[in-house]
């Protein structure tokens, strides 16, 4: 299991604390140092039924300043993955990859269901 995080992100801190409290280990990767691979983005896209918008940090300043909201619909999967891979601050976080699936953001109920259910 891998988790991509931004160390100053409050949701990431909550997720890491939750994983620790539930004794679930995951390789922690700083999104500012490395972004998910194309294959990992594909896995997450599949986990969210093809909804590419779910991969974006839509509340982030960079997302808004780049006007991505209006561009995503006209982009191919390849273009979305290249854009996300080029700038870690665009990636929704935490970005948790499990065996064959994944979760973005931290909603405790979803994490309990996916990881403990």
Q: Is 11 within 8 Å of 106 (Cβ atoms)?
A: yes
Domain count, the chain: 1
Judge whether residue 117 has pLDDT over 80. Answer: no
CATH code assigned at 81: 3.40.30.10
Judge whether residue 116 has pLDDT over 90. Answer: no
Question: Which two tokens mark 110?
Answer: 């979803």
* Residue 55 neighbours by CB distance under 10 Å: 23
Q: How far is 78 from 109, CA to CA, in rounded Å?
A: 31
Q: What is the pLDDT, as a whole number, of residue 34?
A: 96
- Binned at pLDDT 50, 70 and 90, residue 100 comes out as confident
- Does the pTM surpass 0.85? The reply is yes
Q: Which has the closest alpha carbon to 45: 58, 56, 31? A: 56
Q: How far is 78 from 84, CA to CA, in rounded Å?
A: 10
Q: Which has the closest alpha carbon to 3: 86, 80, 105? A: 105
- Residues spanned by the domain of 22: 2-115
Q: What is the pLDDT, as a whole number, of residue 8?
A: 93
Q: How far is 108 from 47, CA to CA, in rounded Å?
A: 17
Q: Which has the closest alpha carbon to 31: 100, 90, 99? A: 90
Q: What is the pLDDT of residues 47-77, one digit of tens each?
A: 999 999 999 999 999 999 999 999 988 999 9
Q: What is the pLDDT of residues 6-35, one digit of tens each?
A: 999 999 999 999 999 999 999 999 999 999
Judge whether residue 82 has pLDDT over 90. Answer: yes
């Amino acid at each position: 299991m891998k988790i991509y995080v931004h160390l100053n992100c409050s949701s990431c801190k909550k997720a890491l604390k939750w994983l620790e409290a539930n004794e679930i280990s995951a390789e922690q990767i700083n999104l500012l140092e490395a972004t998910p691979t194309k294959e990992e983005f594909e896995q997450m896209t599949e986990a969210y039924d093809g909804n590419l918008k779910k991969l974006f940090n839509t509340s982030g300043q960079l997302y808004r300043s780049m006007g991505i909201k209006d561009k995503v619909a006209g982009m191919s999967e390849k273009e979305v993955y290249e854009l996300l891979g080029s700038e870690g601050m665009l990636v929704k976080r935490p970005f948790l990859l499990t065996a064959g699936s994944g979760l973005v953001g931290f909603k405790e109920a979803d994490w309990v269901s996916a990881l403990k259910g």
